[in-house]
Amino acid sequence: MISLIISADDLGSNQERDRGIIQAFKQGIVTSASLLANGPSFITAVAQAKEAGLPVGVHLNLAEDSALTGQIKNLTDISGQFPGKYKLRQCLVAKACDRVALRNELATQIERVFNAGLQPDHLDSHQHCQLFPCLTSMITDLAKEYGLHAMRTSLPAEAAKDNLDEQLGEELNLYRQLGRQAHATIIQAGLKTTDGLWGMPMLNRLNTTSLCQLLESLPEGCWELMTHPGDHCHQGRSFDGPQRQLELQALISAEAQEIISQRRIRLFTFGELSCAS
């Protein structure tokens, strides 16, 4: 049996991305979204998620936009702006970040989602920062504290041979290195998760053809597929370009839905997660 959560990351990033995510849920195969509590379009994203009945998780973010709690020593600038994923990683590896301040920021992000009237069903993290050991146990503890029973595993499901270029390959090798222990920590904490995460090598390459190929070859197991659909945002960041629209078209395509039907792939959510690897 193949069970698959199809998640759309970065809800709350901007209104164009949010529109695409909602469309991919209403008209396509997306079953879940990850909500940025500190995202620029958080308020309108919450309203859209409620109206659509879209299941959401909290997309914990220490890399981009501004901290909800203000300046964090050795991480943000004086205005509370996060420094990007590479400087975040440097801070985490050097153990230079204030752990109390980090925990307070992550808890504040979770609470903002609850206070907005949503009931998140899992935690995951922007740029997969949860993979770093100093954060993995912190986030599993927060999940239990806030009554959240599931968490994304950022352990890549694809084989290393599927790395498509050198830079992305280095990223995936890092995720594989850190992901095994992080996956074990999630299980040891008693949280539910999937067997692995598909889609990392398809960053900016997910279209109808590649999505259908993945769905055709998906093995038995309990999985998550990470996607990033959206409408093209002309004024946004480089990641908000036309590729977001290609992902959206793939996720609402008749071809993808037909493969899911033919292979009897069970689409579900973190709230329904019943397997703990």
Summarised one tens digit per residue, pLDDT across range 27-49 is 999 999 999 999 999 999 999 99
Distance CA 229, CA 10 (A): 9
| pLDDT tens-digit readout, 168-220 | 788 889 999 999 999 999 999 999 999 999 999 888 899 999 999 999 999 99
Residues 113-167: pLDDT tens digits? 999 999 999 999 999 999 999 999 999 999 999 999 999 999 999 987 665 667 7
Owner of token pair 């095994």? 180
Note the Cα 151 to chain centre separation in Å.
Answer: 10
pTM equals 0.94
Handedness of CA 69, 74, 79, 82 (dihedral sign): negative
The answer to whether 160 and 177 are in contact (CB under 8 A) is no
Where do the structural domains in the chain lie, given as residue ranges? 2-272
Beta bridge partners of 151: 123
Return the percentage of the chain with pLDDT > 70, whole number. 95
CATH of 2-272, one of 3.30.465.10, 3.20.20.370, 1.10.3720.10, 3.60.15.10: 3.20.20.370
Q: How far apart are CA 187 and CA 55, in angstroms?
A: 22
Residue 243 has pLDDT above 60, yes or no: yes
- Which tokens in the block code for residue 169? 């390959």
Q: What angle do CA 170, 127, 77 make, to 5 degrees?
A: 115
